């Protein structure tokens, strides 16, 4: 893992595990079906001094998140802006057709679970319509917009529509294709261009986009404008939902209005392990990359530096959970098999945000395949995610470390890299929390990290952020 910009501190890790119960997001789900603004009025004054940091696999998205922090937004506000921007700049992994999961931490959170991170889970959902109709490319129900809205409803401050507007402008007027996106495009350009709607966006005038060339997506811009004006609910129970149903049928994806209406995010308690004086919250199933990361982290604490053994233990744990019949707590308590494997896994992407008050968010997003189904729902600009019923889900891996005693943020780590995603999180945490040299996480994993060696709030000078140097992402912040 590359060295963090600023200071890194060390803590000796001692590990024990607990798993909290889950609950639905009932207190905000009624707002998913309509528009409106969650949060007080917009504050355009730009703040000075420490604003926090943002790390993303795609640079334009990281800069969009940083701009929100400079305008006084929370980590959740910044994460929403990053997510919608990725839908424009990185649709190979995070279009509006994607799904995922986030962990949010707020030291000022009050009530049940005071000051404890929460997971917002909006993983890809298979369409029931696709199972009962003739579809040649079954699509996942789009979950990204609802997931980001759920995150904002609980932790946001700025008006939600202001966080969509920058992405809308990028789609309407164009944005330079990034190196990260072009790398993905080059891998699947041949089959992707078989879809005329994808070809019109990603190979205008017959030329496949190259790094730095403008990528213009007017249909996606119009869809984002509809979400901004009418609210996210319009995609799930409104005029946009009806248009999308017809468009997905044309694209062979088979998503019905009933599928859209029923698809809701959940807030769930994360998997929590002790790490010395700190606690670490991992994404819980069905984002089972978090479970694999927790098991891998346990393994590294028992056998520091044994990356191969830790990787195998994490993959075996995830494979056993996917086989059914055992819960995550039992697997982390010692019932995981000694060996086990998963089939070839699809790509994902991660990002993390931190604000000046010590609020943090880390998310893992996927299309269940590069460019999902490889088709765009005509007239909407949305690249359709692949249905989990027809493709193997990825390991969505992310974690947040904090200290309950001082109510302070310590670190946020997101991991990607197919089978290496969980190890990337575990190794990133071990390097960040422990007294270890700053070394890259093992291949093929990639880690995005934000850390404050002496916690935040109160010691902002100890905070730093880094994108994996082997990727094409960006870590952006300010003071």
Question: What is the predicted pLDDT for the residue at 430?
Answer: 94
Nearest to 415 by CA among 184, 67, 103, 146: 103
Domain ranges of the chain: 17-31+47-270+343-478
Nearest to 456 by CA among 388, 326, 355: 355
Nearest to 16 by CA among 314, 272, 331: 272
Residue 401: band (very low, low, confident or very high) from pLDDT cuts 50, 70, 90: very high
pLDDT digits (tens, 9 = 90+) for 296-347: 999 999 999 899 999 999 999 999 999 998 899 999 987 667 677 899 999 9
Query: Which phi-psi region, left, alpha or beta, contains residue 420 (left: φ > 0; alpha: ψ -120 to 50)?
Result: alpha
The mean pLDDT value for 142-166 works out to 98
- The larger pLDDT score, comparing residue 457 to residue 13, is at 457
Residue 392 is classified by DSSP as -
pLDDT digits (tens, 9 = 90+) for 52-97: 999 999 999 999 999 999 999 999 999 999 999 999 999 999 999 9
The mean pLDDT value for 145-155 works out to 98
The mean pLDDT value for 199-228 works out to 97
229's tokens: 């004006």
Query: Which phi-psi region, left, alpha or beta, contains residue 187 (left: φ > 0; alpha: ψ -120 to 50)?
Result: alpha
H or E, element range at 83: helix 75-89
Query: 102 and 166 in contact (C-beta within 8 Å)?
Result: no
Question: What is the predicted pLDDT for the residue at 311?
Answer: 95
pTM above the 0.95 mark? no
The mean pLDDT value for 236-241 works out to 97
299's tokens: 């393994």
Look at residue 29 and tell me whether its pLDDT is greater than 90.
no
- The larger pLDDT score, comparing residue 434 to residue 28, is at 434
pLDDT digits (tens, 9 = 90+) for 403-417: 999 999 999 999 999
pLDDT digits (tens, 9 = 90+) for 361-378: 999 999 999 999 999 999
Query: 470 and 440 in contact (C-beta within 8 Å)?
Result: yes
Please give the C-alpha separations between residue 129 and each of 196, 258, 336, in angstroms, as whole numbers. Answer: 24, 9, 36
Question: What is the predicted pLDDT for the residue at 294?
Answer: 98
Average pLDDT of the chain? 89
Distance of CA 476 to the CA centre of its chain: 17
The mean pLDDT value for 385-394 works out to 95
Alpha helices in 345-450 (DSSP H): 421-433
Distance of CA 61 to the CA centre of its chain: 12
* Cβ atoms within 10 Å, residue 324: 6
Angle of CA points 179, 185, 189, to nearest 5°: 150
């Amino acid at each position: 893992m590359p060295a963090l910009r600023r200071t890194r501190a060390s803590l000796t890790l001692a590990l024990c595990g607990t798993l909290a119960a889950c609950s639905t997001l009932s207190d905000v789900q009624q707002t998913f079906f309509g528009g409106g603004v969650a949060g007080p009025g917009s504050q355009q004054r730009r703040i000075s001094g420490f604003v926090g940091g943002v790390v993303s696999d795609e640079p334009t998205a990281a800069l969009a998140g940083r701009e929100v922090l400079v305008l006084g937004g929370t980590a959740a506000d910044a994460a929403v802006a990053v997510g919608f921007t990725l839908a424009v700049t990185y649709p190979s992994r995070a279009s509006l057709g994607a799904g995922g999961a986030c962990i949010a931490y707020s030291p000022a959170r009050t009530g049940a679970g005071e000051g404890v991170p929460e997971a917002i889970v909006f993983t890809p959902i298979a369409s029931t319509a696709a199972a009962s109709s003739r579809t040649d490319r079954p699509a996942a129900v789009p979950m990204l917009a609802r997931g980001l809205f759920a995150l904002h409803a609980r932790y946001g401050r700025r008006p939600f529509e202001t966080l969509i507007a920058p992405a809308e402008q990028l789609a309407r007027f164009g944005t330079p294709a990034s190196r990260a996106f072009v790398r993905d495009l080059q891998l699947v350009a041949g089959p992707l261009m078989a879809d005329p709607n994808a070809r019109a966006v990603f190979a205008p005038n017959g030329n496949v986009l190259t790094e730095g060339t403008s990528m213009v997506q007017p249909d996606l811009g119009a869809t984002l404008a509809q979400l901004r004006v009418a609210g996210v609910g319009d995609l799930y129970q409104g005029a946009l939902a009806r248009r999308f149903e017809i468009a997905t049928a044309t694209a062979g994806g088979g998503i019905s209005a009933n599928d859209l209406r029923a698809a809701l995010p959940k807030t769930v308690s994360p998997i929590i392990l002790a790490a010395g004086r700190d606690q670490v919250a991992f994404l819980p199933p069905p984002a089972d990359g978090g479970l694999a990361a927790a098991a891998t982290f346990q393994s590294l604490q028992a056998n520091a530096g044994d990356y191969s053994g830790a990787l195998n233990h994490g993959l075996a744990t995830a494979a056993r959970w996917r086989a059914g019949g055992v819960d995550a707590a039992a697997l982390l308590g010692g019932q995981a098999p000694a060996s086990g494997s998963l089939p070839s896994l699809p790509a994902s992407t991660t990002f993390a945000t931190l604000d000046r008050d010590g609020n943090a968010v880390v998310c893992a997003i996927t299309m269940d395949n590069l460019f999902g189904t490889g088709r765009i729902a005509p007239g909407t600009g949305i690249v359709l995610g692949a249905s989990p019923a027809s493709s193997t889900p990825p390991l969505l891996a992310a974690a947040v470390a904090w200290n309950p005693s001082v109510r302070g943020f310590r670190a946020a780590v997101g991991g990607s890299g197919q089978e290496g995603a969980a190890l990337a999180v575990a190794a990133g945490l071990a390097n960040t929390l422990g007294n270890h040299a700053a070394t890259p996480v093992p291949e093929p994993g990639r880690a995005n990290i934000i850390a404050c060696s002496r916690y935040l709030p109160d010691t902002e000078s100890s905070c730093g952020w880094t994108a994996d140097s082997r990727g094409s992402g960006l870590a952006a912040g300010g003071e």
